[in-house]
């Protein structure tokens, strides 16, 4: 077993770290407070090559393997404090770009993927509905075929990138009686007649990542925008979720590393009772816990991505990776606040924001409880 | 117009290590002042005033990484003079003179100094060896008279000085000349396919024996965290007794 990066990987990872440190290390406090999405940073990431990391070169991507891809995203998370931006990028990559690349027709790929890679287009995914979250396949948005169009009706909630997306992958059923086998995926462009991106949703964390509720009222979608075949939506969704669970928290590992380093610096500088607080074993112990979480989370992440790169489904590993890293991230953020004491509770110290950002990771891409169910179902 | 940009690999001044790397190697980067020189050359080419940018560095195979970075930024071709010895500015200037005579550029743009040894000598020595005009510490470059002359703004202790020099010439860059672009991943991937020309001092017909020897190198003392004082009296006392500046 060899844990060293190749020279090429190291070069790419260095370039990502450098790019992120120079271009993405901006102040997030105001954007977080006001819920502002950084479109300029999105463009820069596109130009730099982030959104297309995993996409084959013929569609404007870099054709990277999954392991190098997650390592790049980890570097991004290390240098860029805007967790919301990174969440938006991840949602775009795993729920719009990857499904299009793998399930899209040649014409769909040529039309959309290059723009999704270079930052000119923003994608998202509309699955959850007010009454179907964890029980995703009980969705009730319908798609009825009329001549050369599908007519969509229903509403979607928690649509990441909804307010800024140029296209959404929307799941709807063509026949409710067929259950999961009736679910189909559609590429719906912004401004399609009958599509209404309603209110922007206010949230606890990841506030720089815009999220919306989207309504479809006799929304017309041309038949060529059906993604894959009718009735394959649920398998496409499960497939995409495996990618998402395995990779979406790559940047969280980078963020944990950053928090760890920040806590180490603070614990060595901050003096109480005549000595640096790092000398207190209760503080030191928290730092050790953080370090162990970062290292173990990173190994889970890399191993799962490596399996994907070997062509394995990694269904179990992806669920465990998501479950484990999200838990580590939240706990690291809690420890970081505790180490910083009252200052950690203050917005200016940028520690409390990390916790608010981290908590969502236990909810999106399947709650921690759902991940446990998945893992249990494969073990028992 | 052809531009030659010599650049040097230096230890990463930001000192960042790669988190998560099982085996972490010390990272090198292009000397930041040289990166500014590369950026300026690219901008001159983008304005249509240059047709070719040739980058050159001196070092072993490890410096290929920085060369690929320069290629990814957009220089047209790169030369590595294969010499891993610890060279001093005069040796570097003599090697570069041989290369300038071979490549015959219209202008050489390079960093005013490297951030590792801060010598600030190679540009000036190269100009002297070639008997070319020089403009050092430059924060602005314009070409005049059908690119036979350059008007350069220099940053001096007394203020900004504007001079005009005849080409061919040596220009060394200061910090405020520009802000270098970032290298994209597609650029880096493409750069891997561009060949790097390898030359030796023998091929250039130059024997550049360093005249100086570095005896030892030690990192600067670590900065200790500051302390908060309660009163002006305490501050003055500390400045007298500890800092000894009063």
CA distance B113 to chain A (A): 22
Confirm whether pTM is higher than 0.95: no
Dist. CA A282–CA A266, nearest whole Å:
15
Give the residue range(s) of CATH 1.20.140.10 domains in chain A.
249-379
Q: How many CB pairs under 8 A join A and B?
A: 65
Dist. CA A348–CA A28, nearest whole Å:
10
Dist. CA B66–CA B116, nearest whole Å:
15
**Share of residues in chain B with pLDDT > 70 (%):** 95
Q: Per-residue pLDDT for B19 more than 60?
A: no
| Nearest CB neighbour to B27, from listed A14, A21, A78 | A14
Q: Express each pLDDT in A164-173 by its tens digit.
A: 999 999 999 9
Dist. CA A234–CA A213, nearest whole Å:
21
| Nearest CB neighbour to A48, from listed B18, B185, B192 | B185
Nearest one of A372, A45, A85 to A205, comparing CA atoms: A85
Q: Express each pLDDT in B78-137 by its tens digit.
A: 999 999 888 999 999 999 999 999 999 999 999 999 998 899 999 999 999 999 999 999
Compare all CA atoms of chain A with the CA of B62 and give the residue at the minimum distance. Answer: A7
Concatenate the DSSP letters of all residues of B42-74 into one string.
Answer: HHHHHTTS-SEEEEEEEE-GGGHHHHHHHHHHT
Q: Are B35 and B140 in contact (CB under 8 A)?
A: no
Dist. CA A19–CA A14, nearest whole Å:
8
Question: What is the fold, at CATH topology level, of the domain defined by A249-379?
Answer: Butyryl-CoA Dehydrogenase, subunit A; domain 3 (1.20.140)
Measured from the Cβ of residue A20, the count of other Cβ atoms closer than 10 Å reads: 27
Q: Express each pLDDT in A340-373 by its tens digit.
A: 999 999 999 999 999 999 999 999 999 999 999 9
Contacting A residues, span 202-221, partner chain B, CB-CB under 8 Å: none
Give the residue range(s) of CATH 2.40.110.10 domains in chain A.
124-235
**How is residue A301 written in tokens?**
């992440």
Cβ pair A14:B182 closer than 8 A: no
Secondary structure class of A35 (helix, strand, coil): coil
Q: Does B86 touch chain A (CB under 8 A)?
A: no
Cβ pair B21:A49 closer than 8 A: no
Which class does domain B2-212 fall in?
Answer: alpha beta
The sign of the CA dihedral B169, B170, B176, B178 is positive
Q: Per-residue pLDDT for B213 more than 90?
A: no
Dist. CA A77–CA B20, nearest whole Å:
13
Average pLDDT for B191-200: 92
Residues in chain B within 8 Å Cβ distance of A257: 19-20
Q: Express each pLDDT in A88-147 by its tens digit.
A: 999 999 999 999 999 999 999 999 999 999 999 999 999 999 988 888 888 999 999 999
Q: What is the ipTM of this complex?
A: 0.82
**How is residue B29 written in tokens?**
């980067």
Cβ pair A12:B68 closer than 8 A: no
The domain ranges of chain B are: 2-212
Pick the catalytic residue from A244, A350, A352, A354: A244
Q: Express each pLDDT in A261-294 by its tens digit.
A: 999 999 999 999 999 999 999 999 999 999 999 9
Concatenate the DSSP letters of all residues of A158-222 into one string.
Answer: EEETTTT-SEEEEEEES-GGGGGGGEEEEEEETT-TTEEEEEEPP-SS-TTS-EEEEEEEEEEEE
Dist. CA B53–CA A61, nearest whole Å:
28
**Partners of residue B140 on adjacent β-strands:** B153
Give the residue range(s) of CATH 1.10.540.10 domains in chain A.
7-122
CATH, domain A7-122, list 1.10.150.120, 3.40.50.300, 2.60.40.1250, 1.10.540.10: 1.10.540.10
A244 is catalytic: yes
Q: Express each pLDDT in A46-59 by its tens digit.
A: 999 999 999 999 99
Q: Are B181 and B39 in contact (CB under 8 A)?
A: yes
Which class does domain A124-235 fall in?
Answer: mainly beta
């Amino acid at each position: 077993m060899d844990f060293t990066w190749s020279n090429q990987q190291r070069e790419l990872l260095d370039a990502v770290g450098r790019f992120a440190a120079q271009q993405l290390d901006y102040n997030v406090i105001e954007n977080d407070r006001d819920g502002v999405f950084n479109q300029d940073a999105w463009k820069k990431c596109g130009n730099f090559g982030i959104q297309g990391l995993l996409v084959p070169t013929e569609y404007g991507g870099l054709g990277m393997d999954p392991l190098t891809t997650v390592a790049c995203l980890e570097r991004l998370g290390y240098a860029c404090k805007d967790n919301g931006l990174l969440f938006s990028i991840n949602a775009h990559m795993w729920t719009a770009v990857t499904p299009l690349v793998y399930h899209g027709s040649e014409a769909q790929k040529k039309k959309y993927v290059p723009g999704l890679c270079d930052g000119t287009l923003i994608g998202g995914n509309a699955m959850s509905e007010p009454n179907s979250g964890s029980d995703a396949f009980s969705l009730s948005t319908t798609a009825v075929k009329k001549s050369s169009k599908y007519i969509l009706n229903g509403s979607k909630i928690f649509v990441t990138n909804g307010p800024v997306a140029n296209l959404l992958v929307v799941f709807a059923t063509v026949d409710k009686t067929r259950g999961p086998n009736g679910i189909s995926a559609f590429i719906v462009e912004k401004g399609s007649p009958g599509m209404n991106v309603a209110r922007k949703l206010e949230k606890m964390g990841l506030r720089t990542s815009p999220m919306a509720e989207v309504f479809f009222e006799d929304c017309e979608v041309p038949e060529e925008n059906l993604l894959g075949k009718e009735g394959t939506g649920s398998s496409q969704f499960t497939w995409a979720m495996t990618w998402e669970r395995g990779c979406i928290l790559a940047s969280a590992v980078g963020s944990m590393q950053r928090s760890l380093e920040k806590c180490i610096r603070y614990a060595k500088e901050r003096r109480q009772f005549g000595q640096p607080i790092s000398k207190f074993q209760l503080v030191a112990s928290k730092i050790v816990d953080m370090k162990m979480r970062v290292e173990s989370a990173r190994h889970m992440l890399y191993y799962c991505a490596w399996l994907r790169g070997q062509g394995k489904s990694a269904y179990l590993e992806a669920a465990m990776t998501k479950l484990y890293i999200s838990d580590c991230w939240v706990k690291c953020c809690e420890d970081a606040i505790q180490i910083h004491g009252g200052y950690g509770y203050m917005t200016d110290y940028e520690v409390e924001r990390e916790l608010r950002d981290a908590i969502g990771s236990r909810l999106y891409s399947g709650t921690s409880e759902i991940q446990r169910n998945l893992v249990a179902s494969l073990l028992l | 117009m052809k531009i030659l940009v010599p650049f040097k690999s230096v230890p990463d001044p930001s000192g960042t290590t790669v988190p998560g790397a099982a085996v972490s190697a010390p990272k090198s980067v292009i000397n930041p002042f040289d990166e500014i020189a590369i950026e300026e050359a690219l901008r001159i080419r983008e304005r249509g005033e240059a047709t070719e940018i040739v980058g050159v560095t001196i070092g072993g195979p490890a410096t290929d990484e920085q060369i690929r970075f320069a290629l990814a930024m957009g220089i047209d071709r790169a030369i590595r003079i294969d010499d891993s010895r610890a060279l001093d500015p005069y040796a570097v200037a003599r090697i570069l003179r041989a290369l300038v005579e071979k490549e015959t550029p219209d202008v050489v743009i390079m960093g005013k100094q490297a951030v590792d040894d801060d010598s600030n000598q190679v540009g000036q020595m190269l100009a002297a060896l070639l008997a070319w005009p020089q403009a050092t510490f430059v924060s602005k470059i314009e070409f005049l008279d059908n690119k036979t002359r350059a008007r350069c703004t220099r940053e001096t202790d007394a203020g900004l000085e504007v001079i005009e020099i005849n080409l061919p010439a040596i220009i060394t860059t200061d910090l405020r000349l520009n802000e270098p672009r970032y290298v994209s991943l597609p650029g880096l991937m493409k750069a891997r396919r561009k060949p790097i020309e390898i030359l030796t001092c023998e091929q250039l017909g130059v024997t550049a024996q360093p005249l100086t020897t570095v005896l030892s190198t030690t990192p600067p003392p670590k900065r200790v965290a500051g302390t908060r004082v309660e009163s002006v009296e305490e501050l003055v006392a500390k400045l007298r007794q500890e800092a000894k500046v009063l």
